[in-house]
Amino acid sequence: MTPLLDKFRQLADARDALMQLSQDPFRVTIERILSPTEARVNGRPMILAGTNNYLGLTFDPQCIEAAVQAVQEQGTGTTGSRMANGSFSGHLALEQELAEFFGRRWSNVFSTGYQANLGIIAALTGQGDVILIDADCHASIYDGCRMSGAEVIRFRHNDVADLYKRLRRLGKRCANTLIIVEGLYSMLGDRAALAEIAAAKRAYGAYLLVDEAHSLGVLGERGRGLSEEVGVEDSIDFIVGTFSKSLGATGGFCVSDHPEVDLARYVSRPYIFTASPCPSVIASTRVALRKLRTEPALRVRLWDNARRLYDELKGLGFRLGPDPGPIIAARFGQKEETIAFWNGLLQQGVYVNMILPPAAPDGGSLLRCSVSAAHTPDQIDRICGAFRSVKAALEV
């Protein structure tokens, strides 16, 4: 190998070691997707319990119909940037609908949630500015920070005292500071201490961005996320979210009352230098957003399922995140034990996400379930049954 490629040697060794224990967990192929909660994997039927499909809308007939119609009328792709030929009336209509839904003046649609974080963080902050970031934030937030060139300071996960300490130290620089947290954290499903964080932001005159990727459609009376649930929307400057979870498509957005979110279109590289979302994606997302607004029963079903699975797994003795919710993560000690458990679940016909070091918080390993409104009571029972029998077989 050349020096350029040498660094892959370590990666190849790590993968070889993993393959001694398991099929490659990062290359699971859905051979056939049958519904929001079922697929064929490795030739066998599988209950999907790790998909982020919180409202189960990926097979919703009206979302599908809108997508099909958009393909027929507008073609398969836009083949261009939002800044050039890639802004169709659907993109603008969706921006308008998102702004209305959140009660904000400005809204900006990106091609993915990842790019929404990159694009908005890097546009809002630059050299001389400061970003105060919760240590457990998603990789897209970290990458946005890096792209911005701002000084990045991490505070301990959900530790408001640590946040205050760092704001105090920043003094006058607080006016140039953007605090970034998530609504529901993607790994353990725990909630930001948002009331206290919003108070800290107000006290020091900083700005606050909340990534509601996992809380949109899940929390709040109207499904607007943790900011709504906690009643602090007035103190949140920027809300970022994605279409790839409860809205069942791909894409991302930022809403705000600050007009700079609109001006960001002229400088945001992840907005400018990529093709805009396909018309079909925009069309299904618009219908999904309408359903999220008008069908609160979806949220009720999601929460019924989430509480049941959380209580059952807790009863079986699994170490879970602090709050019941649509993300239910069981913590494991040894990587080998986690891998064996994950394979055991697959053999029982249940797919969950496996998170290995260093991706999980505190260097541990996780088996992460995500619950859907589309899971039937029988499927929840079968997921619990699989956890029970693999636990008994492995004696963990």
The secondary structure of 66-115, three-state, reads HHHHHHHHHCCCCCCECCCCCCCHHHHHHHHHHHHHHCCCEEEEECCHHH
Sheet of strand 327-332: strand arrangement: 319-320, 327-332, 365-370, 353-355
* φ, ψ at 47 (rounded to 5°): -85, 130
Residue 114 interacting with ligand PMP (CB under 6 A): yes
Least Å distance, CB 30 to ligand PMP, is 16
Residue 113 interacting with ligand PMP (CB under 6 A): yes
Least Å distance, CB 137 to ligand PMP, is 7
Residue 331 interacting with ligand PMP (CB under 6 A): no
Least Å distance, CB 333 to ligand PMP, is 24
Cβ distance to ligand PMP smaller for residue 144 or 279: 144
Which residue stretch of 18-26, 65-73, 83-91, 206-214 sits at the interface with ligand PMP (rule: CB under 6 A)? 206-214
Interface characters, 210-229, with ligand PMP (x: CB under 6 A): -x-xx---------------
Is the link from the previous residue into 358 a cis peptide, with omega within 30 of 0? yes
Residue 190 interacting with ligand PMP (CB under 6 A): no
In the chain, which residue ranges form alpha helices assigned H by DSSP? 3-21, 61-74, 89-102, 113-124, 139-148, 160-170, 194-204, 226-230, 260-263, 269-272, 279-294, 296-315, 335-347, 377-394
| DSSP H or E stretch at residue 173 | none
Strand partners, 253: 109, 241
Residues 129-158 that bind ligand PMP (CB under 6 A): 138, 140
Residue 284 interacting with ligand PMP (CB under 6 A): no
Residue, CB closest to ligand PMP: 113
Least Å distance, CB 72 to ligand PMP, is 26
| DSSP H or E stretch at residue 351 | strand 350-351
Residues 237-266 that bind ligand PMP (CB under 6 A): 242, 244, 252
Site of interaction with ligand PMP (CB under 6 A): 112-114, 117, 138, 140, 182, 186, 211, 213-214, 242, 244, 252
